[in-house]
Amino acid sequence: MDELAFTKGHGTENDFVVVADPDGALDLDDDLVARLCDRRAGIGGDGLIRVVRSDACRDAAAGAAHEDGARWFMDYRNADGSAAEMCGNGVRVFVAYLLREGLVGAAELTPQAPLAVGSRGGVKRVHRRPGPDGTPHLAVDMGPWRLTGGEQGARDGHDALVHVGGLDVARPGLSLDLGNPHTVVVLNDAAQLEAVELHRAPVVEPAPPHGTNVELVVMEESDGDVGRLRMRVHERGVGETRSCGTGACAAALAARTWAGAGAPDRWLVDSPGGQVEVRVLPGDRVELAGPAVLVADGVAHLSPS
């Protein structure tokens, strides 16, 4: 393979290289994915999304997704080439690509008939609706979530210690599972959030077996029944990103846990790349909504590394 067609897209500046492979014919090994995502020697992106039919993908999760009604599977890879379970911003970009290419129709994206999308984190269902600013957003039912530390973690408000560059002492963190792992740390104010150093991965104790994304958050004054957060994030296998969809969900769910009874079910989460909306749904599920933008198409020339 000497050339590879691609699309570049982003969700609140969490950016991705999108590669169409409907028949599952491409062999995208870890090294090639890392080269494509390299911001100096490649196209550049926080990750790579392979668009493949569920019944043509060899990943075991794709077979389960196909049985659950998902015709399309999002094979998401981190910027270092490693496979990841899920990406909340990425699934919106994935669906935006399906729409543009006519692989799905707008009628498949209503609240009454959402589009099923397969991922290693399970099947996600997506519909379109206006965002808080009136622009079209894609809303994703991210499925079930849980506190990794269970009821004890909820009572204590933390289950880990997190060492973050720029902070003088380790801070307590609350661990959550949204199909991928997260650890959320609350900070005092926006100045402290700005000062943290995320060019190195925070050290989490005890160390999660498969690593973790780490969200640093500041809780802001709520607007009526809507909570507000400001966030920065270090994604495992990537580094600091401009935003993180599952991270925004984790941050809102952690804040809601800390706030206790009467906390809002709807949250607006601001990151350096923009704002997303998180809603807590019945049945321990959570929804993420935000924009998705396709910015460029091109052809990568694949010379040996």
Q: What are the boundaries of each domain within the chain?
A: 3-144+291-301, 146-283
* pLDDT value, residue 131: 85
Pairing of strands 72-78, 115-118: parallel
Q: What pLDDT does 49 receive?
A: 98
Main-chain dihedrals φ then ψ at residue 151, nearest 5 degrees = -65, -35
Q: How many CA atoms lie within 13 A of 217 on its CB side?
A: 33
Class of domain 146-283: alpha beta
User: Do the domains at 3-144+291-301 and 146-283 have one common CATH topology?
Assistant: yes
Kindly report the pTM of this predicted structure: 0.92
Determine how β-strand 226-235 pairs with β-strand 266-271.
Answer: parallel
Residues involved in catalysis:
87, 244
pLDDT of residue 305: 55
CA distances (Å), origin 2, targets 32, 33, 108, 157, 302: 12, 14, 36, 52, 5
- Each residue's pLDDT tens digit in the chain (305 positions)? 789 999 999 999 999 999 999 999 998 999 999 999 999 999 999 999 999 999 999 999 999 999 999 999 999 999 999 999 999 999 999 999 999 999 999 888 999 999 999 999 999 999 999 888 888 899 999 999 999 999 999 999 999 999 999 999 999 999 999 989 999 999 999 999 999 999 999 999 999 999 999 999 999 988 779 999 999 999 998 999 999 999 999 999 999 999 998 899 999 999 999 999 999 999 999 999 999 999 999 999 987 65
What would be the CATH architecture of the domain defined by 3-144+291-301?
A: Roll (3.10)
DSSP structure class, residue 159: S
pLDDT for 134: 84
Amino acid at 170: A
Asked if residues 146 and 122 have their Cβ atoms less than 8 Å apart, the reply is no
Residue among 302, 291, 266, 257 nearest 9 (CA): 291
pLDDT value for 304: 65
What CA–CA distance (Å, rounded) separates 10 from 273? 10
Contact 172, 206 (CB under 8 A): no
